[in-house]
Amino acid sequence: MDIDFSPEDMAFQQEVRAWFKAHTPSDLKRKAVTGEMLQKNDIVQWQRRLDSQGWLVTGWPKEHGGPGWTPTQRYIFDLERAAASAPVGLSMGVIMLGPVLIAFGTPEQKAQYLPRIRRCEDWWCQGYSEPGAGSDLASLKTTAVADGDDYVINGSKIWTTYAHWATHMFCLVRTANSGKKQEGISFLLIEMDRPGIDVKPIVSIDGEHHLNQVFLTDVRVPKSNLVGREGQGWDIAKYLLTHERTSIAGVADCKAHLSNLRVAAAERRSGGQPLMEDAAMRLKLARAEIELMALEYTNFRVLAATASGKAPGPESSLLKTMGTAVQQTLAELGVEIAAEQAWPWHDGGEFGSGRHAHAMPHYCFSRAATIYGGSDEVQKNVLAKMLLAGGTR
């Protein structure tokens, strides 16, 4: 594995760096540094700015609007974005559904949805987890019963991120109960304004509303909204989750976060001297950096594999478990460095101001990182089966 950038890659890096410096709005930079939650309009405007440059759907093939970059160029792009304090701000349509439609969708589905995802005209949420079917996703009970040219859907989804903003949901439903649990699952596209859909908010421990429970009662969806074949949903779901888990690792943003923590430790004073001069704090930051370096080199190995033509595989589970552990470590250090300034939810007062305004809410929500996208226990089982035991997908 050659980890040195080529002259072409280095020139590309300078181009990307200059663009982010010139085009990242100051308000979005501030939110990225402090960890403030982006609002829908923030994300929509940022996505459209990236798309106007041709840099939004960086992982899509060129024929569907992607820039045609190599895996290394995509990695460089993400590093420079994070270093410039520019947000990820990408909807699930870009990161998750787009690749699925490109791989499994009909020509009509691609023509209808892919351009609208790029223009951020449709906002997609993910209907996977259910009460009683989170890590054990194959136990989902939401049903889709064929009725003429439609499916009639009944059930509920939970932890549905941004469902209150969404115009559409990509959803796993049960279309059969015979055979293995996985064999009866299908993948449907559902418009959120259809009669029978009710979205209830879930305010999480960080005090923010980004999660929801979605109830579906006799919701009629045309069969033309089925992606792939009936009963193929489990395979499609696994394909989608490899993309999600790889992105969850967040190497670039972890590097930017660690850099911000070093600045914060240099600014804070403890015992009359900068906290950065405290030996214990230097040791904690060094350990976090070592863990992050290990994560980055693992990411390099996955990049090398994809550059040679291999699809993301069980290695995405390794990136996910390592990446979320690093994120939790950094979030904990953020609270320790902020000390009394991490006092939560006092944005306008003496506490919780400036770069530490969201340190405690960020730490609290980071506890969920080892659960969402597939819990650590599930990921370790995947790794044991697929990598250590030489299993097949």
> Which residues carry out catalysis?
244
Say how many C-beta atoms besides its own lie within 10 A of residue 225's C-beta: 17
Contacts of 32 (CB under 8 A, 6+ apart): 85, 86, 87, 256
Write out the DSSP string of 117-153: HHTT-S-EEEE--BTTBSSSGGG---EEEEETTEEEE
CB of 141 within 8 A of CB of 174?
yes
Q: Residue 154: what residue type?
A: N
Question: Taking the CA of residue 257 as centre, how many other CA atoms within 13 Å lie in the half-sphere pointing to its CB?
Answer: 27
Are the CB atoms for 34 and 358 separated by under 8 Å? Answer: yes
Who's near 6: CB < 8 A, 6+ residues apart? none
> Which residues, other chains included, contact 42 with Cβ-Cβ below 8 Å and sequence gap of 6+?
27, 28, 31, 87, 89
- Write out the two tokens for 20: 């982010």
CA atoms within 13 A on the CB side of 57: 22
Alpha-carbon distances of 128 from 88, 160, 170, 188, 381, rounded to whole Å: 22, 8, 8, 11, 20
The Cα 358–Cα 206 span in angstroms is: 9
Which helix (H) or strand (E) segment holds residue 219: the answer is strand 209-222
| Tokens coding 304 | 């090398």
- Listed as own residue / partner, the contacts of 51-56 with beta carbons closer than 8 Å and 24 or more positions apart are 51/118, 51/119, 51/120, 53/19, 53/23, 55/19, 56/90, 56/94, 56/118
What is the Cα Rg of the chain in Å? 22
